[in-house]
Amino acid sequence: MKRKYLYIGLAVLVAILVGIIAYYNIANKDRWYNNTTINGIDVSGLTLQQSKDKIQKSLDGYTLTIKGRNNGTMTIDGDDINYKATVSKKIENAFSDAHKGISFPFKSYSYSLVHDVTYNASKLANVIKKSELVKGSKTYKVRAPRPVYIAYSTSKKSYQVNDAEPGNTIDTDGLTKAVVKSFKSVSKTLDISTSKYNSCYKTAKETASRSELQNRLAAYNNKGLRYITWTIAEGHTETMTPDDIAKMLYWANGKVAVNDEKLQAYVEKLCLKYKTVGQKRTYTSHTGKKLSTTEGDYGWRVDYAKAIAQARQAMNKAIPQDSTDAYVKDQSEDNIKAVTLKYDIPWYSKSTYKINWNNFKDDWDQKNYTEVDLGAQMVYVFRNGKVAYSTPCISGKPVPGRKTTTGAFFIKEHQMNRTLIGENYQTPVKYWVRITWTGTGFHAAPWQSWGSWSPSYYKSRGSHGCINLSMGSAAKMYSITKYGEMVFMHY
């Protein structure tokens, strides 16, 4: 008896379910069933025409937002490319297919339709070409893809083989295809930063096999892991380190090469650091007035040509591979010494009063120097900041080839007797004190009419550039001045 009632109950339940399903299908015979989406748009309970209108509304005012690698973005406005889309006629087939069989209330339906889309391909190409993803900007840098490569590691202090870098350089053909596909499906967003869209980016071509890279690695380490040390003075050195050298190396013609322009730039910077020739020097004249000059040859100057020759020699010098390998494993003091090349800095001139390592340009004795006032035709020798001796002089005649030069110079030599030789003269002189290497100096000129001297005398009876003195004055200058002492000459 109980079993009979159970069967009756089950039959009633089945009848109710069939009725519900039948009602659900009849009620929705002209509408989309519940839980139905078309290209992500919910059309549940809508008639075919209503769903067309809703989808068409979503197609109007279309924009596509694209997300790229490294947080790059761009937006394509449909109006900018004459974008037009109409609902695919296949929606009617989808509607018909949905109602061919029996549908159940809790079943979900999802349709993907390719709508009828038109756009101006030329305008689309132009929009992509001018986009930030393609051109880059101040805030979004475009980086080219890079194959597996060798680079210097500042933390490991040696060269390493590094993995390839994909970069973010757009392949416009690949991006255009992805964009057009989004147009047809009317997708509002496109994320090309995922691996699915690698075709939207350019890829790097491998330039060497792994075994070849290992050979290159050894070559880079041998060439780049070295120290070039210049001795500036006792206890003071300058060193070009592997960190510096790493900026100069590149691979060319099957070997590690040195970028000579970068090597020259490094040496030039080193030379300029210790160059004081030509710096602005301010001194107190006999009148108490402050005068300045940047001319002359007084100061320190490294011989750049010789220094760059030393650097090139050092970069080309062979270092045993064992020494390099030991340094790679352990940058100990002994291993650093084994890859260090030493040179003395080649000075072009360094005849200065002193070296101040805290202020290298503080190189002259500001209390003891000589001033030659070419305008007044007077020489003043300062001692302890005061004029200790002064005398009239006769400088070069103010005509081309004879006018006395100006600037800051150092006294280069003293000779009791010297013969001055010029284009049309050969004159023996006494008490020669050289000021310039080109021939200017103090010396006795007994042939001058010192009794007729005046500040303008030099204009008619001027020398060939030297500072003429009377015999007594020349003897005094010879005895009072010192080698390396500063001489300022000005008008």
Single out the residue in 207, 239, 258 at which a domain terminates: 207
Taking only the tens of pLDDT, the chain with its 491 residues reads 566 666 666 776 777 677 767 767 877 888 988 889 988 899 888 998 998 888 888 888 899 999 999 999 999 999 999 999 888 888 888 888 888 878 788 888 898 888 888 999 999 999 999 999 999 999 999 999 999 999 999 999 999 999 999 999 999 999 999 999 998 888 899 999 999 999 999 999 888 888 899 999 999 999 999 999 999 988 899 999 999 999 999 999 999 999 999 999 999 999 999 999 999 999 999 999 999 999 999 999 999 999 999 999 999 999 999 999 999 999 999 999 999 999 999 998 877 788 888 887 788 999 999 999 999 999 999 999 999 999 999 999 999 999 999 999 999 999 999 999 988 889 999 999 999 999 999 999 999 999 999 999 999 999 999 999 999 999 999 999 999 999 999 99
Residues 59 and 140 in one domain: yes
Residues 215 and 198 in one domain: no
Residues 408 and 449 in one domain: yes
212's CB contacts (< 8 A; 6+ apart) are none
What is the domain extent for residue 323? 210-275+301-347
Read out DSSP for 17-52?
HHHHHHHHHHHTTTBPPSSEEETTEE-TT-BHHHHH
Judge whether 4 lies within some domain: no
Residues 330 and 378 in one domain: no
Residues 83 and 217 in one domain: no
Report helix angle 260-273 to 304-316, nearest 10.
130
Residues 338 and 421 in one domain: no
**Is 99 assigned a catalytic role?**
no
Token pair, residue 43, equals 């059309």
**Is 466 assigned a catalytic role?**
yes
Counted domains in the chain: 3
Judge whether 97 lies within some domain: no
151's CB contacts (< 8 A; 6+ apart) are 159, 160, 162, 246
Catalytic residue among 115, 414, 443, 464: 443
Residues 196 and 157 in one domain: yes
CATH of the domain at 336: 3.10.20
Judge whether 221 lies within some domain: yes
Catalytic residue among 200, 271, 393, 466: 466
